[in-house]
Amino acid sequence: MAPPESVPIDPGMATDFHIATETPSVVSYKFWILRAGDKWYPIGPEQTDDARSDHWMFVPPLPAGSQFAYWIGVWGHANAVWRVRINISQRDPNSTSDSWIARGSWTESGVLTDEGNGGGLATLPRVPRVRLGQ
């Protein structure tokens, strides 16, 4: 599934950017956040098997015109199908508990190459950008 062109967010709420593997593979990734009128803020490179959280929280504001971009590289068993989910969520302003509202969620997927040693690789051929805002 391709990423959406835009994800509607409340610019005044904390925003969580999260990546997770949905298949047995490891993902290296890099995120970038552009606050409208500012510079790109890089996150990473990181990877999903390092025992660290793959949630990245941004505090307000993320004004209309802000953007989210990402790159992923995947490795695992040769010729294996891989799938990675990216989620954008925000705290629920009407909740008295720590609940979140999903604002956008999509997957990237493909098949790993065969590197001749039992392992395989894949990378996105592009760096997708998603507009953030109403």
Residues 6+ apart with CB under 8 A from 2: 106, 128
Instruction: Give the pLDDT confidence score for residue 116 in this predicted structure.
Output: 96
For residues 62 and 35, is the Cβ–Cβ distance under 8 A?
yes
Residue 92: what pLDDT? 83
The predicted structure's pLDDT at residue 96: 77
Residue scoring higher pLDDT (122 or 1): 122
Radius of gyration of the chain (CA): 16
pLDDT tens digits along 21-64: 999 999 999 999 999 989 999 999 999 999 899 999 998 889 98
Q: What is the pLDDT of residue 99?
A: 87
> What digits encode the pLDDT tens for the residues 56-114?
999 888 998 999 999 999 999 999 999 999 999 998 878 777 889 999 999 999 999 99
Type of residue numbered 73: G
SS (H, E, C) the chain: CCCCCEECCCCCCCEEEEEEECCCCEEEEEEEEECCCCCEEEEEEEECCCCCCCEEEECCCCCCCEEEEEEEEEEEECCCEEEEEEEEEEECCCCCCCCEEEEEEEEEEEECCCCCCCEEEEECCCCCEEEECC
Across 114-126, average pLDDT: 96
The model carries a pTM of 0.91
